[in-house]
Chain A
Amino acid sequence: MKFDALIIGGGRSGSAAGRALLSRGLHVCVVADGLHLGVDGADPYAHLNALAREGATVLRGDRALRGIWEEGRLRAVQTVKLEDEPIEASVFVLATGKFFSRGLLSDMERVYEPVFGADVSFLSGRSNWYAADFFAPQPFLDFGVQTDPEGHVLFGGVPCPNLYAVGGILAKGAAAADPARISLSTQD
């Protein structure tokens, strides 16, 4: 399967990015883990159904496993359900959210992004991740994927030219990708 844009994550931000790219005439695929929009989704199916009606291919209940790279660009993404048939695209949008949706994972030492291994900003020392006061701002909520000013995801500080990030997965202050910029870069 080959698309102009592959959105990884079918939540609020992934759906919005999908619709913005569809409206620019792109051939869009959304890998939407789960059947739901998110814990706050009052109408869990509405956004994904609208996307499907408007012509996007929505892979519900599937999850991105890893990227397939070629000369510094992301060429395709392998998913759990499509197994040995990676989904190819010109541009990719990472919209997998934060911890609950497993867009970010953590172990005792680090917070990491599991699909691509993108740069993630977090505080060192696990005890610094939480504030003792439950009602105080929690530092871990600011952790997330780092991007350049145009929203390209960083790897070792170097931006990937065709992988963008939007929504909850972004670190505090990181730039979200603009749909117009994403749509333009399909012509690169």
Chain B
Amino acid sequence: MQEFNISEGNLEQCLKCNLCTLVCPMMQVNEYYPGPKKAGPDGERYRLKDPDYYDYALKYCLNCKRCEVSCPSGVKVGDIIQAARLKYAGHNLRDFVLASTDLVGSLSTPFAPIVNATLKARPVKAVLHTVMGVDAQRKFPSYSQKTFTRWFRKASVPGGEADQSGFERFVRFYHGCYVQYNYPQLGKDLVKVVNAAGYGVRLLEGERCCGVALISNSFGRQATRQARANIAALQQAVAAGEDIVTVSSTCTFTLRDEYPNVLHLDNAAVRPHLTLLSRWLCRQGPLPFRKDLHLRIAYHTACHMQKLGWRSYTLQLLRQIPGVEVIELEPRCCGIAGTFGFKKENYAWSQAIGQGLFDAIREIAPDYVVTECETCKWQIEMSTGVPVLNPVSLLAMSIV
């Protein structure tokens, strides 16, 4: 009987074992959060009867999906909570600004030096803290004056679009907002590594932000619109017989899993062709590594990387680099959870969740922490002072 009774997010399969509660990072620090079991499958039963049962403490869910990874019964605990938030939660101007990465990024990059200096100024931080609710202690990622796509499309730059025409095989690059507006160097690193593997890089036509911040801030309509545009862009690449590679674990997870599971969009035709670069590289031949590196790095498994289950690919690649000692950090949440840690009401919880990870990193004192998630990078760099690299940047440093 049970196997034919399919409910949204598999909620009826919950045995109330509370293993999700055991692994929930928020449960360790915040007494106001009811926990994944109560917020997810338990609460959904009530919400199905009457939406008034929606509990606003669901806003404390980090969307880390550790509850789903731990569930022995296959209940989509995190998806149930996200779907409820999309349906019932409200939002404000602060949430809109934090979630609209494409809009804010494209407005900020032309004035990057001014925007960066302004966001560091104490009076501005005080105003953002008081009026907007963005915590003054949080360091903002800097904006780049030139976007990644502008660099790539410029005819004269080495590694740019013009240089790619010499290759016979191609992959498409879903760069995401962080590469586009904040750190184009990561995109340049990807181009270098993909070229070293014998492939040229092409960009997608009409790529948009993956929408993860829109989903977690309850902007369902906008997230769906962006997701549809992205699926169309990815379909073009698949039709051309090209794989799509990414650098961010969160973008990858959102495009592959949040679209069908939370936004209920069909991405089945593109999902198998969309992968993190490290996974794609494991299927290619060996890279031409330098032999003069002497680095000690600590690998941090971002929560969405844990959910993807692909960290073994990255570790396998990193361990191939001569002269690089790789230390695996125990998988823990860093606490920032995208836009969550920027909100002043969440800052203390965000830092408390990450404390164990920060202590472990300080104890190891590596040259670099390596992780696929850009918001983990911001959190770890701000909280430990240790520089954080995407594995793609480390690979780019390591090849001839």
Contacts and interface: CB of A to CB of B under 8 A. Distances in A.
**Range, interface on chain A:** 20 to 34
B328 A52 contact: yes
B363 to A, nearest CB: 14
B22 interface: yes
A36 B316 CA distance: 24
A49 B73 CA distance: 23
Interface string B58-99: 000000001001111100000000000000000000000000
A34 B272 CA distance: 23
A85 B66 CA distance: 24
Nearest to A83: B272
B23 A44 contact: yes
B330 interface: yes
Contact of A61 (B19, B22, B309, B328): B309
Nearest to B331: A60
Given A61-B69, A83-B272, A107-B3, A34 B19 contact: yes
B272 A36 contact: no
B339 interface: no
A61 B272 CA distance: 19
A36 B19 contact: yes
A34 B72 contact: yes
Interface in A1-52: 1, 33-36, 39, 44-45, 49, 52
B309 A36 contact: no
A100 interface: yes
B328 A35 contact: no
A114 B17 CA distance: 22
B192 interface: no
A82 B279 CA distance: 9
Contact of A59 (B19, B73, B309, B330): B309
Interface residues of B, number: 25
A84 interface: yes
A61 B306 contact: yes
A57 B299 CA distance: 14
Describe B's contact surface by its main secondary structure: helix
A80 B310 CA distance: 11
B312 interface: yes
A61 B316 CA distance: 18
A114 to B, nearest CB: 12
Given A36-B70, A39-B17, A100-B17, A1 B22 contact: no
Contacts of A57: 312, 315
B35 to A, nearest CB: 15
Interface in A87-136: 100-102, 107
B119 interface: no
B308 interface: yes
Interface string B247-286: 0000000000000000000000000100000000001000
A39 B328 contact: no
B270 to A, nearest CB: 14
Contacts of B283: 85
Contacts of B172: none
A62 interface: yes
B175 interface: no
A172 interface: no
Contacts of A84: 272
A81 interface: yes
A81 B309 contact: yes
Nearest to A31: B309
Residue among B3, B71, B315 with max Cβ neighbours from chain A (10 Å): B71
A52 B312 CA distance: 11
Given A59-B309, A61-B307, A107-B3, A36 B331 contact: no
B328 A60 contact: no
Given A80-B309, A82-B309, 8 more contacts: A35-B69, A53-B328, A57-B312, A59-B312, A60-B331, A61-B306, A81-B310, A100-B72
Interface of B: 3, 15, 17, 19, 22-23, 66, 69-73, 272, 283, 306-310, 312, 315-316, 328, 330-331
7 contacts: A33-B72, A35-B306, A39-B19, A79-B309, A80-B309, A81-B309, A81-B310
